[in-house]
Structure 1
Amino acid sequence: MDFKKINALAEAYKSRMSAFLRDMIRIPSESGDEEKVVLRIKEEMERVGFDTVEIDPMGNVHGRIGHGKHVIAMDAHVDTVGVGNPDNWEFDPYEGFEDEETIGGRGASDQEGGMASMVYAGKIIKDLGLTGDYTLVVVGSVQEEDCDGLCWQYIVKELGLKPEFVVSTEPTDGGIYRGQRGRMEIKVDVKGVSAHGSAPERGDNAIFRMGRILGELEQLHTRLKTDAFLGNGSLTVSEIFYTSPSRCAVADGCNISIDRRLTAGEDKESALQQIRDLPAVIDAKAHVCLYHYDKPAYTGLVYSTDCYFPSWILPEDHEVTQAAVATYRRLFDQDPRVDKWTFSTNGVSIMGLLGIPCIGFGPGKEAQAHAPNEKTWKADLVRCAAFYAALPTIYLEKVMLGK
């Protein structure tokens, strides 16, 4: 395999990747509204020569190259968050901008840039004849921003696609990432009894009861488990709601949402039980449960799941990690930074729930995700396209050497 040719061809396709990425940015594609951008991706996959391109019943787009026995997948979610306050943007988030080094717009780093690099990696593979005894499946997945990993639960469980490993192309700040903390979306509900505000002793104020729970949750955060690689578990209260007959009455209901981040060794049941065991929760007879996601995809398909997204770590000595590191070294003649994501990715299902090895390498920076004035770097698109094109062959070399 000629690594100089791979790098040179990736550089040659920089302008085409940039144009493709700008096209995707121009198409608003929040979760549940990805159809138009999926069709644009399908068009580009067909244009560059993928063997087959299909859209599944959930709306994910799958482009395939090759027919070998080793199935390798690469994933980019193609939905984005909204733009937030438009006044925080220095340019139109959908028209975006482009200069010599960067491309701006909603989705540039998170994560339509990864999609652009994957598609042109497929073209590099076809142009240079880098096919072998593998089948590459490039997936543009939907609904990740609403419910990370849901798409891959569907792809594996319902479509039967079970690759030997998956490359997540979420932004990695130039490094190779092999894990992340998990997360949960938890609801705590407290019931009270309303009464006239002039005689609050006649009622039972749900907000006061929740206030004591909030104080204990703040303390629980400081006692959560830590892991040498993933870091601390954490929790924060992200939302608070109430019910009351009026502003002149005792509140008869209060509930909160908790964003719980899970480090290695923490799981759904232990995290829920920590909250259920708090004295204020017991005293208030509060109900603690997971949120449940059941919003339809743009196709109308509903594939529901609990909002539980486990942590995962791919070992440093795993053959997939080693293949990724070797690919980076041979292409770029330097050692990579091997690290982890701060945020959550589709890896929560790919490896966290389903046990399929997952490794990360993607254009852009984590800090750009969900931020105003989001951008990515053209040099990242080029390096990632080269990496994705070379990795399957180097992985097969590792597999054959291990036999």
Structure 2
Amino acid sequence: MEIREQILTKATAYRDYTAQTLSEMVKIPSYSSQEEAVCKMIAKACEDAGFDEVRIDGLGSVVARIGKGPKKIAFDAHIDTVEVGDPSQWKFDPFCGLIQDGLVHGRGASDQKGGAASMITAGRILKDLGYDGAYTVYFTFTVMEEDCDGMCWKYLIEEEHLKPDFVVSTEPTSCRLYRGHRGRMEIVAKLKGVSAHGSAPERGVSAAYKASRAALAMEKLNEALQPDDDHFLGKGTIVVSQMDVKGPSQCAVPDQAMLYLDRRLTWGENAELAISQVKKYMAEATGDNEEQIEVYMPQYTKRGYKNADYGQELYFPTWKIDESHPLVQAGVSAYKDLYGKQPVVDKWTFSTNCVATTGRHKIPAIGFGPGDENQAHAPNEITRIDDLEICAAFYAMLVYALDGKK
């Protein structure tokens, strides 16, 4: 029996196993920095599936390995989730893990424990087939992505010195093959006014009015941003996500204002450019000199469940790889061999851990994952069991495609 047929047969045989694995993950709440219980469950699942090595890194991510070849590929899934939000918007318990009507229900089913479940099954398939080719295959189940995407991989590369040749993100792609996404950064802008008694506002300079004009300037900047040259990633964006105004009292002209900005970066845009644009547009709107407006990237630092403090600036570089890249072509070949048709090749709207592996460290990456982007962070989250089966087969097949042993 050909490798293709063996992989498809195994993925179908393990269909219920994959769905049940996902269900068990969903039942364990795992907000960022609180992933210990689900990491222990995943580590045991990998051990039970026969992985060659299973360990937990210094930040708390599970790193599982199959094979010992000279080349390295890593399949990545973050296993933390956002919180539930308004419970009244959920039609079922967010942590029920219900398997029904071909779906797995619950927080994280698509974003992105579904990818993690398919990875475990793919590893089991590779072990069943006795894979011993040119690749060491890593499966990383990473922490704290929802708080700071890519930081877990910054840690793996820079502190644990795990730098694979290729990376596959298993974030939801609706079983499409993705080869890039916009980057992002968070920006703080601070404006100053002059306080005065509220009964005589003409004596002061209102930071609130400055902030309002600055916010409208960001709307203008957003409209002016341009797409990348080949229109693959699309235009950058900027949005004011928070505003805060302060003064000496409730009865005073406020003298301090803060705007928090979410900036999405297309190809060719970087942090220096984005900060200079904010200063320019705000200065024109408020009448301040650019030097009077403080604009900077904040830092993120948080203690994970292993009591390790780690952080970085909130900058997540844009990335893409060409459709002709060998990794993309191996993905196309693997999918076509399995399913007899070309995959849709596209990009994510949101950001992933590839901002670190590829944006920061230039490791070629693709994305292929179960579930849909629009399920991410939404109430009543679900993923299709069909997708889980497809992805488990694809991950295993990709290793053989790269190895030239299809």
Whether TM-score is above 0.5 comes out as yes
| Alpha-carbon separation, structure 1, partners of 2:252 and 2:95 | 46
Deviations 1:70-120 (A, max 9, x none): 111010000000010000000000114221310110000000000000011
Cross-structure match for 1:234: 237
Output the TM-score relative to the length of structure 2: 0.96
Cross-structure match for 1:249: 252
8 Å contact kept, 1:275–1:281 = no
Cross-structure match for 1:163: 164
Cross-structure match for 2:46: 45
Answering whether residue 112 of structure 2 is matched by residue 97 of structure 1, we say no
Match 1:283 to one of 282, 285, 288 = 288
| Alpha-carbon separation, structure 2, partners of 1:130 and 1:328 | 19
Rate the CA distance shift 1:281–1:39 in 2: closer, same or farther, 3 A.
Answer: farther
| Alpha-carbon separation, structure 2, partners of 1:200 and 1:282 | 18
Matches within 5 A, 1:1-400: 1-227=2-228, 228-278=231-281, 279-280=284-285, 283=288, 285-397=292-404
State the Cα distance separating 1:210 from its structure 2 match: 1.3
Task: Give the counterpart letter for 1:304 in structure 2.
Answer: G
Helix, strand or coil for the counterpart of 2:112? helix
8 Å contact kept, 1:53–1:63 = yes
Task: Give the counterpart letter for 1:286 in structure 2.
Answer: I
Task: Give the counterpart letter for 1:120 in structure 2.
Answer: T
| Alpha-carbon separation, structure 2, partners of 1:308 and 1:132 | 37
Helix, strand or coil for the counterpart of 1:57? coil
8 Å contact kept, 2:24–2:97 = no
Task: Give the counterpart letter for 1:280 in structure 2.
Answer: A
| Alpha-carbon separation, structure 2, partners of 1:162 and 1:344 | 20
Task: Give the counterpart letter for 1:305 in structure 2.
Answer: Q
State the Cα distance separating 1:281 from its structure 2 match: 5.7
Deviations 1:261-281 (A, max 9, x none): 111110110111111122236
Deviations 1:159-206 (A, max 9, x none): 111111000000001200000001110111112232221011222211
| Alpha-carbon separation, structure 2, partners of 1:281 and 1:74 | 48
Output the TM-score relative to the length of structure 1: 0.97
8 Å contact kept, 1:276–1:282 = no
Rate the CA distance shift 1:24–1:72 in 2: closer, same or farther, 3 A.
Answer: same
| Alpha-carbon separation, structure 2, partners of 1:337 and 1:69 | 31
Task: Give the counterpart letter for 1:363 in structure 2.
Answer: P
State the Cα distance separating 1:282 from its structure 2 match: 6.2
State the Cα distance separating 1:141 from its structure 2 match: 0.4
Task: Give the counterpart letter for 2:308 in structure 1.
Answer: L
8 Å contact kept, 1:172–1:365 = yes
Task: Give the counterpart letter for 1:320 in structure 2.
Answer: L
Rate the CA distance shift 1:268–1:197 in 2: closer, same or farther, 3 A.
Answer: same
Helix, strand or coil for the counterpart of 2:179? strand
Task: Give the counterpart letter for 2:350 in structure 1.
Answer: F
| Alpha-carbon separation, structure 2, partners of 1:175 and 1:23 | 25
| Alpha-carbon separation, structure 1, partners of 2:37 and 2:383 | 22
Q: When the two structures are aligned, how many residues end up with a matched partner? A: 399
Helix, strand or coil for the counterpart of 1:108? coil
8 Å contact kept, 2:67–2:131 = no
Task: Give the counterpart letter for 1:395 in structure 2.
Answer: L
CA RMSD between the two structures: 1.3
| Alpha-carbon separation, structure 1, partners of 2:386 and 2:74 | 23
